[in-house]
Structure 1
Amino acid sequence: MQEILAHRDGIAFLALGTDENRFSEAWLTAVEAALEEVVSSDSSVLVTSGAGKFFSNGLDLEWVQQHLDQFNDYAARVQVLLARFLTLPVPTVALVNGHAFGAGAMLALAHDFRIMRVDRGYFCFPEVDIKIPFTPGMTALIQAKLTPQAAVASMVTGQRISGADAVHWGIVDRAVSETELAAAGQELAASLLGKDQDTLGTIKSRLFESAAASLRTF
């Protein structure tokens, strides 16, 4: 993969990719390395975004079907990455530029803040309709970030949730137009600069201790 991390004005910008941004092995390796760079750099906030139609469509289901014998190791790696985002010792902002489905939606939830496009893209947990139950770790992540009502509305129904409805349910913090998305993310990130990593890392690790532990146990 090409370089996916850039630094500007104390903010690290993580570009998930320009396609469906599924969690391929190469994609996982690149994102894992990017997070290591973030915590060792001078940047003190992380902004994550996709491009075009997709934020992320989640698991690489085509690869999974071809490597069923490796599924447990693959799923464990995905969950560890989600736990890493959840407890990253810098503030994190997800710019949900397009569709966020399944584990891609969980990736957005693992960030501290979410800004979504109001005019295109859906937030969706399709697991109930594709007959893939949520793992205990994934359930714990969703429960840690959403109200019980929002969890039921998204997990039990499998409905596609627009930006405006995602704000209503508290799934995202704001919904803006495509032209406003980058500026809104940078403005929020700038307001979060300068947090001490040791302090914030401890706060987030304790705040999400149960969910992170569940994600790391597969």
Structure 2
Amino acid sequence: MPYLDRDGEVVVLYLGNENETDNENRFHPDWIDRVHALLDEVEATEGPAALVTTATGKFYTNGLDTDHVFANLGALPEYLDRVHTVYTRLLAFPMATVAAVQGHAFGAGAMLALAHDFRVMRADRGYWSLPEVDLQMPFTVGMAGLLEGRLPKQTAVEAMTTGRRYGGEDAKAAAIVEATAGEGDVLAVAVERARALAGKRGPNLGGIKRSLHVRTLEALETPTASSSFSFGQ
């Protein structure tokens, strides 16, 4: 399950298990609950602070927990609405947030990176991709709103309708990420970027973010309709 570490004023939220180096870090309901609990801990810290999320191994996160989805198809809308809560939490988080994307970020995991203020991605390995078009999966209203709100329009069109896999430099050119780094440097670059913003933390910053992302947040808070999905029919 996810866990926290600290580098001075920067809190690092690891998305996978502490004693395992390679996890897919999928959005299982228990994983979502754990992330929210850790974000509660981060918010409770005193003084200047900033947040970095990262992982170890091949994946930053591989997105939705498909085993859970197909075992609980009747609860799919509620599950997706719960996924949305992670995005809304980060979009309005009252401190600077940086995603250190050290490995693949697919689907809901790619969207997780976009919910941060800034992103640093490994330059030489790993992909950011939205495979929903190839999986015959629609985007929820909230997910589409997040992608439209956080990406340049043409990048959103290409990413959502083609399923393109963006390597680090391609992702930077498409304005999906702001910076790239070599193997072993992704986290350090993200931490230094976050550290420079640690003094901004507080309710005013959270309010600015809520105003900045008001339409995206409204989309993410729109309940997912079961009629959007035809799995199992």
TM-score by length of 1: 0.96
Counterpart for residue 19 of structure 2: none
Please tell me whether residue 5 in structure 1 is matched to residue 4 in structure 2: yes
Q: CA deviation at 1:7?
A: 2.6
1:107 counterpart = 2:112: yes
Q: CA deviation at 1:167?
A: 0.4
Query: Could you say what secondary structure the match of 2:165 adopts?
Result: coil
What's 1:76 paired with? 81
Q: Deviations along 1:1-46, whole A, 9 cap, x unmatched?
A: 3x60123311111000140100012211110101111111125200
2:126 maps to 1:121: yes
Deviation of 1:60 after TM superposition, in Å, equals 0.3
Deviations 1:30-80 (A, max 9, x none): 101011111111252000001110000110011110111221211110011
**AA matched with 2:195:** A
- Residue 174 of structure 2 is matched in structure 1 by 169
Structure 2 gap ranges (5+): 17-21, 224-233
The alignment partner of 1:178 has SS state of coil
- Which residue matches 1:66? 71
2:30 corresponds to which residue? 26
CA–CA separation in structure 2 for the residues paired with 1:45 and 1:210: 24
1:149 alignment partner in structure 2 = 154
Aligned residues of 2:102 and 2:187 also touching (Cα < 8 A): no
Q: Describe the SS at the equivalent of 2:98.
A: strand
Query: Among residues 212, 215, 218, which one is paired with 2:220 in the alignment?
Result: 215
Cα distance between partner residues in 2 of 1:168 and 1:120: 16
Match of 2:231 in 1: none
Instruction: Say which SS state the counterpart of residue 179 (structure 1) adopts.
Output: coil
Mapped to 2, the partners of 1:187 and 1:10 lie a distance apart of 10
Distance in structure 1 (CA, Å) of the matches to 2:30 and 2:211: 31
CA distance in 2, matches of 1:101, 1:165: 15
Secondary structure at the counterpart of residue 40 of structure 2: helix
User: In the aligned structure 2, how far is the partner of 1:152 from the partner of 1:63?
Assistant: 29
Matches of 2:191 and 2:36 in 1, distance apart? 22
So what's the TM-score if we normalise by structure 2? 0.90
The CA deviation at 1:197 is 1.1
Q: Could you give the per-residue CA deviations for residues 140-173 of structure 1, whole angstroms, max 9, x where no partner exists? A: 1111111111111211110111001000000001
Q: What does residue 188 of structure 2 align with?
A: 183
Deviates most, 53-62 or 69-78: 69-78
Looking at structure 1, the residues matched to 71 and 7 of structure 2 have their Cα atoms a distance apart, in angstroms, of 40
Cα contact 2:12–2:52 (8 A) shared by 1: yes
Partner of 1:35: 39
Residue 51, structure 1, aligned to residue 50, structure 2: no
- CA–CA distance in 1 between the matches of 2:201 and 2:167? 35
Cα offset for 1:120? 0.9
Q: CA RMSD in A?
A: 1.1
Greater shift in the superposed pair: 92-101 or 175-184: 175-184
Matches of 2:206 and 2:179, distance apart in 1? 25
Moved >4 Å (runs of 4+): none
1:25 and 1:202 map into 2 onto residues whose CA distance is: 28
With 189-198 and 120-129 compared, the bigger mean Cα shift is at 189-198
Aligned to 1:194: 199
